[in-house]
Amino acid sequence: MRTKLRTLYEKHGDILRYLVIGGLTTLIDMGLFALLVSGFGVYYQTANVIVWVLAVSFAFVGNKWVVFRTKTKSPSALWKEAASFFAMRLVTLLFSAAFLYGTVDLLVWNENVAKLLCNIAVVILNYVLSKLVVFRAR
């Protein structure tokens, strides 16, 4: 049994680690979003951008060192990796903004419910983009 678990972890450990880091990133994102929107009355799209910067910064560190365990050999390589990570996350920020606009402004959903559903899609997109583009084995 232990060997099967070990083999499973060795094969899919990055997904399990991603779920932990992604879960923590989502908690940061959702918690700060709710605080800014509901607690301070910040416009939901503005709050979405603010929490994006904080959550993506946390996610980069977590994904780099915990999930994909990449080793960069130079500062320029680190900057390139960070730029790629933020660029891919910018794609999902644009998706998030469009999703929130469609659900909150057009369909008149609650901001927090819309944000939660949006985050589910964004977590999946972010994993795929990180695995295939940012932290791929070179």
Which pLDDT does position 103 carry in this prediction?
Answer: 98
User: Residue ranges per domain, the chain?
Assistant: 2-134
Q: Which residue has the higher pLDDT, 4 or 110?
A: 110
Rounded to the nearest 10 degrees, the angle between the axes of helix 75-100 and helix 111-129 is 140
Which pLDDT does position 55 carry in this prediction?
Answer: 94
Tell if the pTM clears 0.85, that is, is over it.
Answer: no
Which pLDDT does position 97 carry in this prediction?
Answer: 94
The b-or-e profile of 28-55 (16+ CB within 10 A means b, else e) is bbbebbbebbeeeebebbebbeebbeeb
Q: List, for residues 67-119, the tens digit of each pLDDT value.
A: 888 888 899 989 999 999 999 999 999 999 999 999 999 999 999 999 999 98
Q: Is the pLDDT of residue 40 over 90?
A: yes
Averaged confidence pLDDT in the chain = 91
The size of the chain, in residues, is 138
